[in-house]
Amino acid sequence: MKKSKIKKQIEQILQSSPTRGYKSKEISKKLNIKTDEEYTNLKQILAELYKQGKLIKRGKRYLLARDANQIIGTLQMTKNGYGFVTPEQKDGEDIFISEKNLGTALNGDKVLVEVFARYRGKNQEGEIVKVIERATEEFVGKLEIYRGFYFVIPDDKLIHRDFFIPEELVHGAKHGDKVVVRLVEWHTPKVNPVGEIIEIIGKPLDHATEMLSIAKSFKIRTKFPDEVLEEANQFSEETIKNEIPNRLDIRDKIVFTIDPVDAKDFDDALSIEPIDKNRFLVGVHIADVSFFVKENSPLDLEARKRGTSVYLVNYVIPMLPEALSNKWCSLVPGEDRLCFSVFIEMNKKAEVLNHRIEKTVINNKRRFTYEEVENILKTGKGDFAEQLLQLNELAKQLFKKRIQNGGIDFTTDEVQFILDPDGVPVEVKKKEHLQSHKLIEDFMLLANKIIALEGKKFEDVKKVPFIYRVHDVPDEEKIRQLASFVNSLGYKLNIAGGVKSKALQKLLEQVKGKPEEILVNEVMIRAMAKAEYSEKNIGHYGLAFQHYTHFTSPIRRYPDLVVHRLIKEYEENITPKRANELKKIIPDICKTSSIAERVAMEAEREAVKFKQVQFMKNKIGQDFDGIISGVQAFGIFVELIDNLAEGLVRLKNMPGDIYFYDENKYALVGRLNKQVYRLGDLVRVRVIGVNEERNEIDFELVE
């Protein structure tokens, strides 16, 4: 009998029992199948229909997939063991999945859900009947041996099942090791998923092990393939020497870098020289990585996959191998280095009169730290003080103009960890916001803006694509929530007719220096759209720039490297075929680079949180001042003012009252004494518990 006919008969059989279904033996009987060969063939057809999503299984029973009740979506787990499936259709509502109805799905998996009810009158409720595609098959965790059995406990607390490891698949890992486990099989939720240890990372709580574990848990590439390393190691001083005749030679000019004290890669440098009494020529010199990393080479393909360097606590995962990132592309002092330079003619009011872009060779005359430059700006004394002071005056003018035009000057606190030789934090402090940071920032912004204008000209004239750094206007609902929040703090945000960036900047100026300044900054940032890379130039709302790109960090950001290539290529004649080819490539680069950036930021936040928790483990019983950074029905989150560590005050650890959650006021309110704990309030808390395994800190309020 033909396969198509058998499939049709199977459909007719299952239609006769739409809710109960049939086992394969029962279907075989109805089809009058008698031989083992025919039965094997039937089972193959059933498996094929199941794989295609035309059938579902409940236990051993097959049912027809009922389109009206079945939805494909992505599972997002919660820490409480249940989850929600977000449908692929944008207008579909999330579907609640109880723990018993998860099947063999894990967080992030693409799944098929059968919807059968409404959950507590809110979300639809459903059961996952099939995992269509795994989000990942590799997980980071700790190996534990219990009564001769091997299990890996995942680091990700949204993965609620431990992995059983057969002894032959342990591969030398020892009890307590941090490992990477690959999912081998998981056919039924009645047993644990089976895994194989494919990598031993190291011992838990070791600094390098934990940072590497975080990177791997976010699927960040940590090893360079051999062919990439071989390509990176082929360059030498001779490579640079041979290229010098093809470039504008400015090795005699005073060029210097300004970077953090612990920086190892220097991809931007500055220079300034007077033209006359009122005009200056400012040079923004960026490492010419595109000279070394050619399109579609092994180096390029690897950099494209990575998208960005990742900076965890005292642990860097570079986008490019060290031979390039720390040596041949890095603008190290005293060495000849290839650059792509933007020369900007400016007057004393920081108005741009003219500009040009050149391929250059420079020799860095001084490697400054931000702190060194800050001291020179304050005292007026030190190496190249005249140049630094003039650059600073121009930078201040650039900043002032940006704010006047509607740019938003966010203040976000970052922490700095002082680690002992074992990588354990002995001190945590806030990083200072220095004028030297602003000096560099404003000239980098200007260079990026100029390059974006060049890209737009090429796009308009030659009909070629470009990469822009864009920032959309904020979502109206989020801005309404922001206005409501700041109103509860006693501030006003005018949102009539849509919020203007100038109104947001005015609010930031009002809270400057106040205890709630950092919190208002953070809540405002959450209300903003996320900046991203795009081939469509919609402008940058936060900077108030019509044209903006990323050009100044090609050692650590892939889009910057591509922008270098595009500018060089577009200066030459470009064929329609090549233009069409780029129109296909550029959107994909924008999308993957934006994703890589978000993943890197999440990993960096996780690393900081881990170190904060590690620092606080010896602080149990100590009191700290903090600010309420989150309010939920189960308690309040408090961020400590000194070190920005965040912990939870559960309801049971709040003083003598019964509290209810007022969602509109972002507050918990006492029913008896009417005590109110609002988002942004200053409180004093005591550390009562630290869980390094779960990366959590517990506080109680100190009355």
- Write out pLDDT tens, residues 667-697: 899 888 888 898 888 899 999 999 987 889 9
Q: What's the pLDDT at 54?
A: 76
182 and 120 together in one domain = no
At a CB cut-off of 8 Å and minimum separation 6, what does 183 contact? 134, 137, 138, 139, 163, 193, 194, 195
CATH label of the domain that carries residue 18: 1.10.10
The answer to whether 10 touches 27, Cβ cutoff 8 Å, is yes
- Domain assignment present for residue 209? The answer is no
493 and 583 together in one domain = no
- Of the two residues 598 and 526, the one the predictor is more confident about is 598
| Mean pLDDT across 334-353 | 97
pLDDT tens track for 138-159: 999 999 999 999 999 999 889 9
What is the 3-state secondary structure of 388-415? HHHHHHHHHHHHHHHHHCCCCCCCCCCE
Mean pLDDT, all residues of the chain: 91
Per-residue tokens: 116: 């059968």
CATH label of the domain that carries residue 659: 2.40.50.140
- C-alpha 482/C-alpha 408 separation (Å) is 15
Q: What's the pLDDT at 67?
A: 45
| Mean pLDDT across 37-45 | 88
Locus of tokens 């208002």: 520
Residue type at 411 in one-letter notation:
T
| Mean pLDDT across 373-379 | 97
- C-alpha 535/C-alpha 470 separation (Å) is 9
CATH label of the domain that carries residue 180: 2.40.50.700
- Domain assignment present for residue 46? The answer is yes
For residue 364, list its beta bridge partners: 333
423 and 405 together in one domain = yes
pLDDT tens track for 222-263: 999 999 999 999 999 999 999 999 999 999 999 999 999 989
Helix axis angle, 576-616 to 207-217, nearest 10°: 140
Domain final residue pick, 98, 133, 168: 133
**Number of domains composing the chain:** 6
- CA distances, 100 to each of 23, 82, 97, 160 (Å): 22, 8, 8, 12
Residue 591: CA atoms inside 13 Å, Cβ hemisphere, count? 5
441 and 370 together in one domain = yes
- C-alpha 594/C-alpha 532 separation (Å) is 5
Domain final residue pick, 204, 237, 257: 204
Q: What's the pLDDT at 6?
A: 85
Query: For residue 453, is pLDDT > 70?
Result: yes
Full residue range of the structural domain in which residue 521 is found: 476-528
User: Residue 641: how many CB atoms within 10 A of its CB?
Assistant: 15
262 and 301 together in one domain = yes
- Could you give the percent of the chain with pLDDT greater than 70? 97
- C-alpha 317/C-alpha 642 separation (Å) is 28
User: Residue 245: how many CB atoms within 10 A of its CB?
Assistant: 8
Please give the backbone phi and psi of residue 306, each rounded to the nearest 5 degrees, phi first: -75, -45
414 and 484 together in one domain = no
The answer to whether 552 touches 267, Cβ cutoff 8 Å, is yes
H/E element, 96: strand 95-97
562 and 580 together in one domain = yes
- Domain assignment present for residue 341? The answer is yes
235 and 296 together in one domain = yes
Please give the backbone phi and psi of residue 133, each rounded to the nearest 5 degrees, phi first: -150, 130
Entry pTM? 0.85
pLDDT tens track for 77-130: 998 899 999 988 766 688 999 999 999 999 999 999 988 765 555 678 889 988
| Mean pLDDT across 572-576 | 91
287 and 390 together in one domain = yes
Query: For residue 313, is pLDDT > 80?
Result: yes
pLDDT tens track for 317-327: 999 999 999 99
346 and 320 together in one domain = yes
- Domain assignment present for residue 214? The answer is no
- Domain assignment present for residue 219? The answer is no
Q: What's the pLDDT at 61?
A: 81
Please give the backbone phi and psi of residue 331, each rounded to the nearest 5 degrees, phi first: -80, 65
- Domain assignment present for residue 213? The answer is no
Full DSSP string of 582-602: HHHHHHHHHHHHHHHHHHHHH
Q: What's the pLDDT at 255?
A: 98
623 and 507 together in one domain = no
pLDDT tens track for 56-78: 777 778 877 654 477 889 999 99
60 and 94 together in one domain = no
Q: What's the pLDDT at 114?
A: 85
Return the minimum-mean-pLDDT range out of 18-22, 129-133, 169-173, 573-577.
18-22
At a CB cut-off of 8 Å and minimum separation 6, what does 534 contact? 467, 468, 470, 590
pLDDT tens track for 620-652: 999 999 999 888 989 999 999 989 999 999 998
- C-alpha 80/C-alpha 99 separation (Å) is 9
Q: What's the pLDDT at 68?
A: 44
Please give the backbone phi and psi of residue 473, each rounded to the nearest 5 degrees, phi first: -65, 155
